[in-house]
Amino acid sequence: MTTSATCARALLPAACAAALAGCAGDIRPADFGQSQPGGELTPTGPVTTGQNEDLTFTTLVDATLEDAWTYVDFDARAQAAPDGPWELRFERFHISANGGISGPGGVEVAPISGRSLDEVRAEPAAGWLTDAPDGDDENSVPDYAFEQGDGWYLYDFDRHVLTPRKLVWVVRSPGGATIKLQIERYYDLAGTPAWFTLRWATL
């Protein structure tokens, strides 16, 4: 994990709290107000999924609660129960996979850089990650697969804004379909944080 990423993860909870309390300026992303994938999809609950014209799916995830995870079953394209089948869960800026220390599902993820969602057509041969115990860093949070290495986001210290990295995540589960996924947004179109917009498709 890079030094900047480590610092961001150590300081992010306090920074987010300050921003939500109104101590920061405009925390909306720079592309606020522009047309976004999933922008026409109206949330109907904590997890809402719709199919796009290119046959990919857009899923909106409400991860705004600070003390509860939102579980997603991509096979069902819906919210899941903690004790039911699920692949990923979301809490604020954390993303956890149902594998390793976080669950019995055997879910692994692999980040792919430099390629678009459409260009990823097969599982990678290496680079698979799963949730691991907290390592040698400045916090006590487990090393979630999506936050290992440089992690899924870039953090703007001046504006307290998270921006998803341009990565495609391949998510595979022994009990379900393998999917490819991009994290398109962390904010809804009103600028509210912890509203994930995910674009994905099966492999």
Range of the domain at 84: 3-25+44-202
| 179 pLDDT more than 60 | yes
Note whether residue 32 is domain-resident: no
Sign (positive or negative) of CA dihedral 135, 64, 111, 128: positive
The strand pair at 88-91 and 193-202 is best described as: unpaired
Q: Compute the distance between CA of residue 50 and CA of residue 44 in angstroms, rounded to an integer.
A: 11
Nearest one of 33, 65, 72 to 183, comparing CA atoms: 72
Where residue 74 falls (left for φ over 0; alpha for ψ -120 to 50; beta otherwise) is alpha
Beta pairing partners, 84: none
CB contact at 8 A, 160 and 178? no
Note whether residue 33 is domain-resident: no
Say what percent of the chain tops pLDDT 70.
Answer: 81
pTM metric for this prediction: 0.82
CB contact at 8 A, 185 and 197? yes
Burial per residue of 25-57, b for 16 or more beta-carbon CB atoms within 10 angstroms, e otherwise: eebbbeeeeeebebeebeeeebbbbeeeeeebb
Mean pLDDT of 31-46: 63
Note whether residue 86 is domain-resident: yes
Which residue has tokens 């600070």?
66
pLDDT at 12: 55
Read off the pLDDT of residues 113-142 as tens digits, 9 standing for 90 and up: 999 999 999 999 999 999 999 877 777 889
When divided into structural domains, the chain yields a total of 1
Note whether residue 38 is domain-resident: no
